[in-house]
Chains A and B, each alone.
Chain A
Amino acid sequence: MSEVLRVENLTKRYISGFVLTRKVVGAENVSFSIGKGEVLSLVGESGSGKTTVSRMILRLIKPTSGRIYLNGKDIFAYSIEDYYKKVQAIFQDPYTSFNPHYTVNKVLKDAANFIKMGSNDKSKSKEDAAFRSSLETIGLAADEVLGRHPYELSGGQMQRVLIARCLLIGPELLVADEVTSMIDASTRVAVLNELSRLAKEEKMAMLFITHDIGQAYYISDKVAIMEKGRVVEIGSTENVLFEPKSSYAKQLVTSVPKLHEKWELGLESIYRVD
């Protein structure tokens, strides 16, 4: 598997306060790599630095130290347009990812124009067909959604429109930051299935960020567990989530509620006798 993204000793320290400043660790010595068609989940509790890492990879904030390489080349060596043709993101809140004045058609058209930027391709007729096929592949009826505004769609539909948009741009790396936390459990599976298919069929590398460990297990090939800005454990999903070695990972994994296994709460004997 050829390597798409490599992160080496990435560190970010935020400066907090106004006069009496102090440094707050956002991420500390984070290293990992993602190959083509591979999904890496970054798992941790709130405040563990997952989003800080994703923002540095997306060039939204500058790392304090450490390097990030895309296809072996430092990410700051790319021009910003080139970089975003290769790296795309889907965020937590679909409602803020959309311009409320734009229809789905316009959103996709902007994406299509973005790819053509800098090239001499002036063809227009293909666009509509491309929009339709990208929407159909992720299970949305094109006639139903194309003319609509974001407020007319459900959260699940909006996230899927954003996936369709990514499909159109065809990045090499997709950063999915808590994409399912705003949508209902029943439609969550559909969004995850689409993302997983995107990685496998389009050979896209994916960084999947979540606090839901079940979802991380469902979608990813590799998992990294973060605690207070550090990666405490990284490896294959099976090893990390079912045979964790570090004490933090163990504690985290045993706290996940399971449907067919109960915690020892000592309630069985004292429930009201039916």
Chain B
Amino acid sequence: MQDDISIRVQNLKGYYRGSFGVIHAVEDVSLIVRRGDILGLAGESGCGKSTFLKLLIGVPEPPLSYEGGEVELEGYDIWKMDYGTLRRKVLGKCVSYVPQSSCDALNPVLRIRQFIADLLKEQTGHSYSAKEIREMLVAHFASLGLDKRILDLYPHELSGGMKQRSVVAISTYLKPSILLLDEPTSALDVTSQKRLIEMLASLYQEGITKTIVISAHDLAILRQICNRIAIMYAGKIVEVGKMDDVVSDPLHPYTELLINSLMPLERRIKTEKLTALGGRPPDLRVPPQGCRFNPRCPSRMDVCMSKEPPLIEEDERLVACWLHCGRRQES
């Protein structure tokens, strides 16, 4: 069903080009996110999560450059649109992107409501008075459990968690059907993390945003809210599936190691010895031959060194690993 799909990514490629060489940060990524999914994007730092999200909204900043592939957001083929149309029709209205250091996105010399007035003027071409802004936003803030007094404050008067939640509230005011969040929780304390996750849940419940993509390196936090998860490693998606399935039975060796290296507050971590994932992520200027995970993989085979594994489907899950290609051929 065509209508069902919120985000469709086909062979997306994005490289960083500069004096340091060419970093193959996102290589041939294909992914489908259906409307109503809350997708988590997990992986180590430097695996291409942020780069992938930046490419999804079609406005890469140098040295990041778009190198091919297609991205369709709610039917808009964004890499075929010119920047003006993209900005007028898609950004903010159809898709909202909350970058990693979004706390710094607020203007330090403007009150939150003045900041919002600026944004709305940019988006709608109409200037609103302070009173109008307050009337428009009080309900939106209240529905997300935010105090309306925040509107009259300056960013420095807010804590990190409040800033983050205000940014998310502002970026969803125009009711974008897709919300992309890049590491929204990593700079926050545990209690603020929980409040942010609860707020995202209420955004989703009230139908303000229909599809959410959250990147994070902490799988435990994604586990709380996402129904699907995509695992990235060295610029590639290695596994996609339902959250419960992936956590309880990871197929890709990297997913398994990533889950085992987590330290959630559970009694088992004291009794079972946790193992570290040896080595370090590969240098993406010269990605390893074959499977990109092969230098660190505990179950490496000969084929992994020479040929790249395709992303194959197995029981409603996608996995890119030769272990599973073999299994399918046998059965």
Chain A residues near B259: list those with CB within 8 A: 259
**A240-272 contacts to B (CB < 8 Å):** 241-242, 251-253, 255-263, 265-267, 270-272
- Give 1 or 0 for each of A169-201: 1 = CB within 8 Å of chain B CB: 000000000000000111111101100000000
Give chain B nearest CB distance to A31 CB in angstroms.
Answer: 24
Is there an interface contact between B35 and A184, defined as CB atoms closer than 8 Å?
no
With A and B bound together, what is the CA distance between A265 and B195 in angstroms?
11
A81, CB-defined interface residue at 8 Å: no
Within 8 A of B (CB), among A195-216: 211-215
Whether, in the assembled complex, A82 has its beta carbon less than 8 Å from a beta carbon of chain B, the answer is no
- Known A189-B275, A242-B267, A267-B201: A272·B36 in contact at CB below 8 Å: yes
Contact A271 B36 (CB under 8 A): yes
A213/B276 in contact, CB under 8 A: no
Given A257-B224, A263-B194, A263-B224, CB of A185 within 8 Å of CB of B218: yes
Please give, as numbers and ranges, the residues of chain B lying within 8 Å of A184 by CB-CB distance. 44-45, 217
Chain A contributes a number of interface residues (CB within 8 A of B) equal to: 41
Size of B's binding interface in residues, CB under 8 A: 47
B190 touches A256 (CB 8 A): yes
Known: A255-B190, A272-B35; 6 extra A-B contacts, CB below 8 A, are: A186-B258, A187-B276, A241-B265, A253-B265, A271-B36, A274-B242
**B197 is contacted by which of A156, A260, A265, A274 (Cβ under 8 Å)?**
A265
In the complex, chain A residues whose CB is within 8 Å of the CB of B316: 274
Q: Say yes or no: A185 contacts B247, CB within 8 Å.
A: no
What residues of chain A lie closer than 8 Å to B153, measured between beta carbons?
none
Could you jot down 16 A-B contacts, CB within 8 Å?
Answer: A45-B190, A185-B258, A186-B258, A188-B261, A192-B263, A211-B189, A212-B263, A215-B263, A217-B265, A242-B267, A257-B264, A263-B224, A265-B224, A267-B205, A272-B34, A274-B316
Q: Restricting to B32-46, which residues have a CB under 8 Å from any CB of A? A: 34-38, 44-45
Residues of A contacting B263 in the complex (Cβ-Cβ under 8 angstroms): 188-189, 192, 212, 214-215, 217-218
Question: Which residues of B are found within 8 Å of A236, using beta-carbon distances?
Answer: none
* CA–CA, A77 and B302, complex, Å: 64
State the Cβ distance, A119 to closest chain B Cβ, in Å: 37
Q: Please measure, in the bound complex, the distance between the C-alpha atom of A102 and the C-alpha atom of B265, giving whole angstroms.
A: 39
Cα separation A266 to B201 with both chains bound (whole Å): 8
Task: Report the Cα distance A241→B263, complex, angstroms.
Answer: 14
* Bound form: Cα–Cα A253–B190 in Å: 9
Bound CA span A211–B191, Å: 11
> Is the C-beta of A154 less than 8 angstroms from some C-beta in chain B?
yes
Closest Cβ of chain B to A139, distance in Å, is 9
A interface footprint on B42-81 (CB within 8 Å = 1, 0 otherwise): 0011000000000000000000000000000000000000
**CB of A46 within 8 A of chain B?**
yes
Which residue of chain B lies nearest to A44 when distances are taken between CB atoms in the complex? B189
Asked whether B220 is an interface residue with its Cβ less than 8 Å from the other chain, the reply is: yes
Give me the interface of B with A, judged by CB distance under 8 Å.
34-38, 44-45, 160, 189-191, 193-194, 197-198, 201, 204-205, 217-221, 223-225, 227, 242, 247, 257-259, 261-267, 269-270, 274-277, 280, 316
CB–CB B221/A186 < 8 A: no
**B34 neighbours in A (Cβ, 8 Å):** 272
Nearest chain A residue, comparing its CB with the CB of B192: A45
Q: Are A263 and B197 in contact (CB under 8 A)?
A: yes
B190-A265 in contact (CB<8A): no
Chain A residues near B193 (CB, 8 Å)?
255, 257
Bound Cα distance A241, B227 (Å): 28
- Known: A186-B257, A272-B36. Contact between A265 and B198, CB under 8 A? yes
B242: nearest chain-A partner, CB-CB: A274
Q: Which of A192, A218, A271 contacts B270 (CB 8 A)?
A: A218
In whole angstroms, what is the CA distance A93 to B195 when docked?
A: 28
Selected from B45, B223, B276, the residue in CB contact (under 8 A) with A262 is B223
The answer to whether B217 and A185 touch across the interface, beta carbons within 8 angstroms, is yes
Q: State whether A214 touches B191 (Cβ < 8 A).
A: no
State which of A185, A212, A217 has its C-beta within 8 Å of the C-beta of B261.
A185
* Residue in B closest to A256 when the chains form the complex, CB atoms: B265
Residues on the B chain within 8 Å of A263, using CB: 194, 197-198, 224
List the B side residues contacting A252 at CB < 8 Å: 190-191
B280 A154 Cβ-Cβ under 8 A: yes
Chain A residues, Cβ within 8 Å of B277: 186-187
Measured between C-beta atoms, what is the minimum distance from A46 to chain B in Å?
6
User: Contacts of A188 on B, CB cut-off 8 Å?
Assistant: 261, 263, 276
CB of A265 within 8 A of CB of B225, answer yes
A159–chain B nearest beta-carbon distance, Å = 12
Can you name the residue of chain A whose Cβ is closest to the Cβ of B4?
A: A272
Q: How far apart sit A258 and B201, CA to CA, in the bound complex (Å)?
A: 17
